[in-house]
Structure 1
Amino acid sequence: MKYIYYLFVLILFCACQKKEEGFVVRGVIAGYPGTKIFVREIIPGNDAWMNDTLEVKNGKFEYRGKVESPRLIYFIPQDFLGRYELFLENSDIELNVENGHYRAMGVTGSKSHEEFITIRRDARELLMGYSLCEKQKNEAFKTDTELYKRLEDSTRVWNGRLLRFLVDRVNYSSSLVLPYFASEWMKSEDIQNMESFINGLNSEARNSVYTQYCEKALNQAKKVQPGNAAYDFVLQDIDGKQYRLSDFKGSYVLLEFSASWCGWCKLEIPYLKQVYDLTRGKKFHMFTINLDKERKLWEDDVKKESLPWPVLSDLKAFDGGVAEEYNVSGIPVIFLIDPEGKIVTNKLRGEGMISFIEQLSF
């Protein structure tokens, strides 16, 4: 009887022990010739990588740790050919790859990964439509301004459909995977849809690293909406002369964000020169804000282009500084600021920009 009692206490003690939190990924890659595999995670809105290196023995590896919330990681082979995607969560996960082919991968033990695969499969047609529209828009930019405008509107419609697709998911409010797709698909101009998406998430989903990125991007996008005050910067040209935006109140100011390596930006130069000629001598000032990181690239580009207006820089590129304050994540972007220092628009491009400027009263 005494032994039965002790046995009961032991069983009760074991049952009461809290299971250790964290994840264990056991991977098998059939025919893998390497001895290492790399773990990578791209942080949303950041170029930094989270790195780990794992040993591979006889095609097998093990990865242990803990994540605050589910997130997408990549296992990169030693030869860097292909990658194995896994939506990681705190659970016991098995990953099996047949013949070393990254598309022939099986994952068990991660409910988040199952949801990730399902969402991507269900959104396939929407993604194809969006990608096709984006491709046609880029091609039209060189030859047909009116078609470009229509396709730009169409891409916004497709993007709205993608976000609507996320909101319509059955487990939308509590999903820890949907915020990842939102961080990939959201556009800064789609404020209403993104705000609705975020507000519909529960507290756990809102703590996701992807939701936090979306919220930051949303707040940045709101700052540069038409009617808001433009960020008052102080920048210098290659000769060290400083320019403060607020010194030009009383005049319109056009800000073009560009870089030496940006081919699309170079296509805008003829149109910008037309704007310069159109507004010369009027209450209108133009500045190019160069987003190179290296001073020599900036200086060489200034000398090469010989623009008749100042080319300024803080040499921070997209990493903070003026680009972040103006929510610039891709270029070219062209802002127009009114005489009161408020944003009029950031959608100026090509022939449409010239038509817009011609309608202003100076």
Structure 2
Amino acid sequence: MKQALSLILLGLGLSASAQDFSITGTVKGVENGKVYLQRFSNKMFFTIDSAEIKDGKFRFSQKPALPELYGITLKPESSPYFIFLEDKPVTVALDSAAYYSKTTVTGSPSQDLFTQYRQTRDVNVSEFIMQNPASLVSAYVLYRDFSYRLSADEIDANVKLLDPSLSETQYVKVLRGLTPVLRSADVGKKAPDFTLPGVNGETVKLSDHFGKYVLLDFWASWCGPCRRENPNLVKVYHQYKGKGFDIVAVSLDKQKDNWLKGIADDKLEWTHASDLAFWNSAPAALYGIRAIPGNVLIGPDGTIIARNLRGEELREKLATLFQ
């Protein structure tokens, strides 16, 4: 009977193992409660299923879209544990400690590759892709960890290294859409204009600040590296604001209270605006911002003269401009 079923499934272009997909697991330190399965999209996770924890064990019965990156979490509002799922049974030993740091996953070759990637330093993304051209992990790594530091031409070249089977994944689609945006907002191009609500609901229009050197800064109150860079911005703002320098900050926050508190706590006295849309921020998409902190330095005539200057690089550039 099993052999007959396998032949039928193969005739349909399926495999017997595909019908056996499941996610089962245990939760260390938790006997009862719920565990949530979340799908990844545009650097955000969205809950699609939940399972009861009984005597420290759980099982998801609903089959999600595969293969894909998902998250497993005990708290839907917190960061999940990343897990690459394939069309085969997966077993999860979920560690309930902070960041699920000792969680283990068995049964997913993609997860094994992702774990290996995260343990490797100084990864050359092109070499990684050439070694794993058909793996979803390669497309994700290029999208998530390298797109923000590569030029449009470099992104295009690396996308071509990926197997055609990945062309319809969300990662390749985003990368292909990103390259024309980066070219339109590159150094030497006119800065794309936009309007956003300010902290008091007023309209903030970027081009109203042209006529000075303007640093268009992308940040968020939840972003640790952004908060660590803010003291440097405060210093250069006070040093050059009387000489024709301005900052317009766009926040990728979700909660207005957190955004306003971050502004107050870090003493950020320049113009602020946000659509409170997190990674769906319209100006971030307009400028191809895939990681924060990120910034664009705009000349008095509205032309982009530099991107992603931070720390000493920003100080040296401004010193050159205003000497």
| TM-score, structure 2 normalization | 0.71
Q: CA deviation at 1:355?
A: 3.3
Do 1:72 and 1:88's aligned partners in 2 also have CA atoms closer than 8 Å? yes
Q: CA deviation at 1:185?
A: 2.0
| Structure 2 residue identity aligned to 1:347 | N
Structure showing greater radius of gyration is: 1
Query: Which residue is 2:216 aligned to?
Result: 255
Q: CA deviation at 1:15?
A: 4.3
Q: CA deviation at 1:209?
A: 2.8
Cα pair distance change 1:50/1:254, threshold 3 Å: same
Alignment of 1:67-106 (within 5 A): 67-76=64-73, 86-91=83-88, 93-95=89-91, 97=93, 103=102, 105=104
Distance of 2:82 and 2:311 partners within structure 1: 40
Q: CA deviation at 1:68?
A: 3.9
Q: CA deviation at 1:125?
A: 3.4
Query: Which residue is 1:120 aligned to?
Result: 115
Alignment of 1:21-170 (within 5 A): 24-25=21-22, 27=24, 29=26, 34-56=31-53, 61-76=58-73, 86-91=83-88, 93-95=89-91, 97=93, 103=102, 105=104, 107-108=106-107, 113-118=108-113, 120-121=115-116, 124-126=119-121, 158=122, 161-169=123-131
Q: CA deviation at 1:124?
A: 2.6
| Structure 2 residue identity aligned to 1:87 | F
Q: What is the SS of the residue equivalent to 2:148?
A: coil
| Structure 1 residue identity aligned to 2:49 | D
Q: What is the SS of the residue equivalent to 2:120?
A: helix
Distance of 2:282 and 2:214 partners within structure 1: 19
Q: 2:195 aligns with which of 229, 234, 254?
A: 234
Worse overlay, 98-107 or 259-268? 98-107
| Structure 2 residue identity aligned to 1:203 | P
Cα pair distance change 1:44/1:182, threshold 3 Å: farther
Query: Which residue is 1:311 aligned to?
Result: 271
Percent sequence identity is 19
Q: 1:344 aligns with which of 296, 300, 305?
A: 305
Q: Number of aligned pairs?
A: 305
Structure 1 unaligned residues grouped into runs of 5+: 1-6, 127-157
Cα pair distance change 1:65/1:165, threshold 3 Å: farther
Structure 2 unaligned residues grouped into runs of 5+: none
Q: What RMSD, in angstroms, separates the aligned Cα atoms of the two structures?
A: 4.4
Q: What is the SS of the residue equivalent to 1:254?
A: strand
Q: What is the SS of the residue equivalent to 1:186?
A: helix
Do 1:254 and 1:334's aligned partners in 2 also have CA atoms closer than 8 Å? yes
Q: CA deviation at 1:43?
A: 1.4
Do 1:84 and 1:105's aligned partners in 2 also have CA atoms closer than 8 Å? no
Q: What is the SS of the residue equivalent to 1:48?
A: strand
Do 2:229 and 2:311's aligned partners in 1 also have CA atoms closer than 8 Å? no
Distance of 1:232 and 1:14 partners within structure 2: 58
Deviations 1:86-119, CA, capped at 9 Å, x for gaps: 431223x1526599998575634xxxx2243145
Distance of 2:95 and 2:179 partners within structure 1: 43
Deviations 1:233-275, CA, capped at 9 Å, x for gaps: 2346556665544456565433344556734213321122112
Q: What is the SS of the residue equivalent to 1:52?
A: strand
Deviations 1:125-176, CA, capped at 9 Å, x for gaps: 32xxxxxxxxxxxxxxxxxxxxxxxxxxxxxxx4xx431332230x41x223
Do 2:213 and 2:299's aligned partners in 1 also have CA atoms closer than 8 Å? yes
Do 1:302 and 1:311's aligned partners in 2 also have CA atoms closer than 8 Å? no
| TM-score, structure 1 normalization | 0.65
Distance of 2:4 and 2:197 partners within structure 1: 71
Query: Which residue is 1:181 aligned to?
Result: 141
Q: CA deviation at 1:190?
A: 1.1
